[in-house]
Amino acid sequence: MGGWSLAPEFASLASTGCYLPEIEVTNDALRARFEATAPEFVDKMEASSGIRARWYAPAEWAASDLALRAAQQALARAGKPAEELDLIILGTDSPDYITPATSVVLQSKLGAKNAGTFDVGCACASFPTALSTASGLIAVNPSLRTVLVVGVYMMHKLANDADPMIFFYGDGAGAAVLERSSEPGFVAAAFQADGSYHRNWLIPAGGTVEPASCEAVTSGRTRVKMFERYPPEINNEGWPRLVRQVARNGGFAVSDIDFVIFTQVRKPTIELVMNDLGLPMSKTHTVMEKWGYTGSACIPMALHDAFEARKIKPADLVVLVGSGVGYNQAAVALRAPRAESRLFAS
């Protein structure tokens, strides 16, 4: 059969990694910064989100430097050298460059000389999208045995320091190593989007709609900005709908879910959605309180932290739900590996 196997093959989670930089920016620091221009903003955002601080990387770092640290930890925990990677998929909306892809920069810094790479760019939905893409590629390509999936966020460097919305931009990266396995890991995925909201929150200039120019830079159009708020029902109603869709796609009931992780932007939204789904808060995990909002990195960072806290058990059915500007939303369902996996090593 030319090396092809008739037995089903799956993508199984081998390890996770996480990197949080060291420079803490507290809400009190932002209160002082915006005291004259937006005195009540930080108080309101803290109450509505649960975020109390965020963390920045050194000014000279790029997104790939954050991704590198998370990737190195994930590979170390998988017991694999970078040379064994067949593919790197990186999700972000704060890339090193418009082109080339940040994944290829990471490949060079990581020394993964045998890996192909590509980027996924659907903001905070990037990681579940990339994870399901990697799982599908592993299932149908016998040559792919080890894939690294990374989510990274460094939006504060693309923001105006005078914009109070910088409250939501914390740096970080999370990663996962997927391996080819004969035992089920990946279960199902689901996606939804509404591009009519694509101008609500964006960087207006710097692409082909409006190439960067002196005037665009001076006016701030090369910086990220929220022009119009998203209706709360996008997540309040969209997340439960997506969870139910991935359950249908995977042939399981919502009540079968052992653990679920959502985009880490507003804790009250997660509480509302868990109630809608009939799932207790003990079946989810939040990190925005201590790490802030880390965009396209927040789901893998929360996943890693949940494994570290032993909240996810061997063979648990885990669902990851991401929601990003545009908007894009994606969910992926997977089985945690068996107890002997490195993920559960002490």
- Sorting pLDDT into bands at 50, 70 and 90, what band is 342? confident
> Pick from 127, 158, 184: which residue ends a domain?
184
Same domain, 103 and 224: no
Number of Cβ within 10 Å of residue 290's Cβ equals: 14
> Residue 4 above 80 pLDDT?
no
Same domain, 85 and 130: yes
Same domain, 172 and 255: no
For residues 67 and 96, is the Cβ–Cβ distance under 8 A? no
| CA-to-CA dists, residue 189 to 141, 254, 333, angstroms | 19, 14, 6
Q: What is the CATH number of the domain that holds 99?
A: 3.40.47.10
Task: Summarize pLDDT for 151-171 with one digit per residue, the tens.
Answer: 999 999 999 999 999 999 999
Same domain, 29 and 163: yes
Averaged pLDDT for residues 177-187:
92
Supply the pLDDT for residue 120. 98
Quote the percentage of the chain above a pLDDT of 70.
Answer: 97
- Sorting pLDDT into bands at 50, 70 and 90, what band is 10? confident
Quote the percentage of the chain above a pLDDT of 90.
Answer: 93
Same domain, 136 and 223: no
Total domains present in the chain: 2
Backbone angles phi, psi at 131, to 5 degrees: -65, -45
Same domain, 46 and 157: yes
pTM comes to 0.95
For residues 277 and 254, is the Cβ–Cβ distance under 8 A? yes
Say how far apart CA 84 and CA 112 lie, in whole Å. Answer: 7
> Pick from 155, 184, 213: which residue ends a domain?
184
Whether the ω angle into residue 100 lies within 30 degrees of 0, i.e. cis, is yes
Task: Summarize pLDDT for 235-289 with one digit per residue, the tens.
Answer: 999 999 999 999 999 999 999 999 999 999 999 999 999 999 999 999 999 999 9
- Domain span at residue 267 reads 187-337
User: Which residues, listed in sequence order, are joined to residue 117 by a DSSP beta bridge?
Assistant: 88
Encoded tokens for 284 = 């989810």
What's at 71, amino acid-wise?
A: A
Supply the pLDDT for residue 1. 38
